[in-house]
Structure 1
Amino acid sequence: MAEQLISLSEFWSLRDHFPLIDARSEGEFEQSQIPGSINIPILNNPERVVVGTLYKEKGSEEATIKGFELVGPRFHLILKDVLKLFPQKKVIIYCWRGGMRSQILSWLLTMVGFEVYRLKGGYKTYRTYSFDLVRKDWNLLVLGGKTGTGKTRLLQKLQEVGEQIIDLEGLANHKGSSFGSIGQPAQPTVEQFENIFAEALRKQNPAKSIWIENESRKIGRLILPDKFYHQMLAAPLIDILKTDQERIDLIAEEYACLPTDELILAVLRLKKRLGGLRTSQAIVAIVEGNHSDWISNMLIYYDKAYTFDLDKHAEGKTIQLDLSGIDPDSSIKKLLDAKTKFNGKHTNTTD
């Protein structure tokens, strides 16, 4: 069967129906890829360097011949792998620019009866789209609150009642503190984070508000795009309040079950900010299983950090909302009421 070259707009409608193959090298794939792709390298990392160098020095014809020389002996192995993985024989494929590597793979697969859709412009086209999307203007509504106020849980509840949300910490595999990586999968690269982020934004209606948790510019080792971060700072913010005990209880629920050695390492990462005495006290409390004590100790630091970050937010665009002692459903109702106040330009209030 012949291949069909598809545009990015056509790709969106087809991706849910067919498997997606990335024909680039392992290194390129590890750096970033279209989410959901499976890597079938036509040229591996060393071979890609050889062909790329030859292309620069002697041109495309020499590079193409060399590419076939390198990959030719593996054609049968590639076909066996793809046939095993995709017995339905229908796939979408891409490489960096939609050039030689995806063309070779497409040719191979059509030889054994595959229905192939090849992305025009390759990964570069997709990456340009995702890069631009996370830097567009968005209608944001920021959910703020000190550590332990349950912002992520509230976002999830808001989504359940039909509100648009983006869970940045979920996308980043990090909860945004020294303790935030414990029990989480490895963080993606910055480029892959933007791809995942763009996929989430693409599902949103830009005419409606998108709830997002208040974050610093860095989430673990990932950095938010400057324009998006500045939009967060300029957006309306609902600063939720909970009692200290509620916050301690929630943090204990999420972190007390984690490995003691990882909790201690997280405290040690904050030693310069906490000081020697408070660091030692927190470690002793962790070892003794006195979770209330070490969490209270950490909150002294994190509360100061939150106040510092809150001061960066646009003046006149904050509602403070006390959710102490109320159930999740009532909390959501109060949040939606606060959203209505913002839409009516009612700001700088305390509920």
Structure 2
Amino acid sequence: MAEQLISLDQFLSLREQIPMVDARSEGEFAQSHIPGAFNLPILNDQERIVVGTLYKQKGAEAATLKGFELVGPRFHQIQKEAIRLFPGRKIIVYCWRGGMRSQILSWLLEMVGFEVFRLKGGYKTYRTFTFEEVRKDRKLIVIGGKTGTGKTVLLQKLKEKGEQILDLEGIANHKGSSFGGIGLPPQPTVEQFENLLAESLHALIPTIPTWVENESRKIGRLILPDRLFEQMSDCLLIDIQKSNQERIAHIASEYGNLPQEDLIAAVKRIQKRLGGLRTQQAIDAIQEQNHESWISNLLIYYDKTYEFDLTRHEAGKTHILDLSGKTLAEQVELLLKIKNQHHGNKTNAIDRME
């Protein structure tokens, strides 16, 4: 059965039912790939260097012959691995530009009975899609507030109520502060973060407001796309207020049971900003498991940072909301009330899809 070349739109539809296979090298795949894809390299990292060098020195024919010489002995292994991974024998394949590597993989798998769909333009076409997706205009509502006001919890509760959310920290595998990466998986690469972000945005209904947590331009070592960050600075910001006691209790519940060595390392990362005395006091309190003390100490620094960060938000678009002493259900209802005042009492994402 001959392969079928498919457009990006066809690909975005078909991938919901058919597994995707990336024919690029393991290094290229690790750097970034289409989320959910499997990696079956036609050329591994070292072989790709050899073929690429030969292409520059002697041209396409010499590089092609060398490529077949290198990968030929592995043809049967690639076929067997594909049969093991995809017993249904129906797949989508892609490489960097939808060229030779995905064509070879397609040919190999057709020989053992696979139905193959090959993405026209390859991963480069997909990257054009993700680049554009993260730079589209959005209807956003930003949940702000000082450290410990429970913004992430509120975001998830809003999702449970059927609201559209964009979980930037979840996508980035980081909570944004010096402590934000503790206990979380490694952060994706910058390019893969953009892919994952684009996938989340593409799944949202553009006519419905999306809730997002207030973030600095950087989340860990990742940087938000400029246009998205600009929109977050220009839209409605709900600045949540809570008592220091509530904030400290919330932070202690999230970080109090984490390894002491990780907490101390996080304190040391901001030592220059804290100063020597405050740094040592925080470390001593962590070692003594005096959570209230070290958290209170660090909040002095983080509160100043947040107050400075607020100045970048467009004047007149900040709504202060005191949620002290309120239950989670009450907090969510107040947030929804403000949303309806600013955007009209429209149905949520779940209602619109039914």
TM-score, structure 1 as length reference = 0.96
Unaligned runs of 5+ residues in structure 1 are 345-351
| Structure 1 SS opposite 2:149 | coil
Matched to 1:13, the amino acid is S
Aligned-pair CA distance for 1:80: 1.3
2:351 is matched with: none
1:171 is matched with: 171
| Structure 2 SS opposite 1:205 | coil
Render the CA deviation track for 1:60-119: whole Å, top value 9, x for unaligned: 332222211111011011111111111111111100000000000000000000111111
| Structure 2 SS opposite 1:55 | helix
Q: Distance in 2 between matches of 1:286 and 1:17?
A: 50
1:194 is matched with: 194
1:193-212 correspondence to structure 2 within 5 Å: 193-212=193-212
Matched, 1:85 2:85: yes
| Structure 1 SS opposite 2:158 | helix
Render the CA deviation track for 1:131-178: whole Å, top value 9, x for unaligned: 111011111111100000010110111111111100000000000000
Structure 1 vs Structure 2 CA RMSD? 1.0
Q: Distance in 2 between matches of 1:341 and 1:77?
A: 61
Render the CA deviation track for 1:203-233: whole Å, top value 9, x for unaligned: 1111111111000000000000111111111
Q: Distance in 2 between matches of 1:54 and 1:143?
A: 54
Aligned-pair CA distance for 1:55: 2.6
1:10 is matched with: 10
| Structure 1 SS opposite 2:215 | coil
Matched, 1:333 2:329: no
2:115 is matched with: 115
Q: Distance in 2 between matches of 1:27 and 1:256?
A: 37
1:277 is matched with: 277
1:349 is matched with: none
Q: Distance in 2 between matches of 1:338 and 1:278?
A: 39
| Structure 2 SS opposite 1:211 | strand
Q: Distance in 2 between matches of 1:207 and 1:237?
A: 19
| Structure 1 SS opposite 2:232 | helix
2:321 is matched with: 321
Matched positions, count:
344
Q: Distance in 2 between matches of 1:316 and 1:290?
A: 40
Matched, 1:141 2:128: no
1:48 is matched with: 48
| Structure 1 SS opposite 2:77 | helix
Q: Distance in 1 between matches of 2:267 and 2:180?
A: 12
Aligned-pair identity (%): 67
| Structure 1 SS opposite 2:326 | coil
Q: Distance in 2 between matches of 1:155 and 1:60?
A: 53
1:288 is matched with: 288
2:348 is matched with: none
Matched to 1:43, the amino acid is L
Q: Distance in 2 between matches of 1:112 and 1:339?
A: 56
1:240 is matched with: 240
Q: Distance in 1 between matches of 2:310 and 2:322?
A: 16
Q: Distance in 1 between matches of 2:56 and 2:137?
A: 39
Matched, 1:311 2:314: no
Q: Distance in 2 between matches of 1:109 and 1:127?
A: 25
Render the CA deviation track for 1:33-71: whole Å, top value 9, x for unaligned: 000111111001121122222333333332222211111
Q: Distance in 2 between matches of 1:60 and 1:136?
A: 39
Render the CA deviation track for 1:189-208: whole Å, top value 9, x for unaligned: 00000000000000111111
Matched to 2:267, the amino acid is V
2:101 is matched with: 101
1:130 is matched with: 130
Q: Distance in 1 between matches of 2:60 and 2:328?
A: 62
1:183 is matched with: 183
1:62-81 correspondence to structure 2 within 5 Å: 62-81=62-81
Q: Distance in 1 between matches of 2:248 and 2:2?
A: 62
Name the stretch that deviates more: 239-248 or 63-72. Answer: 63-72
Q: Distance in 1 between matches of 2:116 and 2:333?
A: 49
Unaligned runs of 5+ residues in structure 2 are 345-354
Q: Distance in 1 between matches of 2:315 and 2:63?
A: 58
Q: Distance in 2 between matches of 1:237 and 1:276?
A: 35
Name the stretch that deviates more: 146-155 or 10-19. Answer: 10-19
Aligned-pair CA distance for 1:234: 0.8
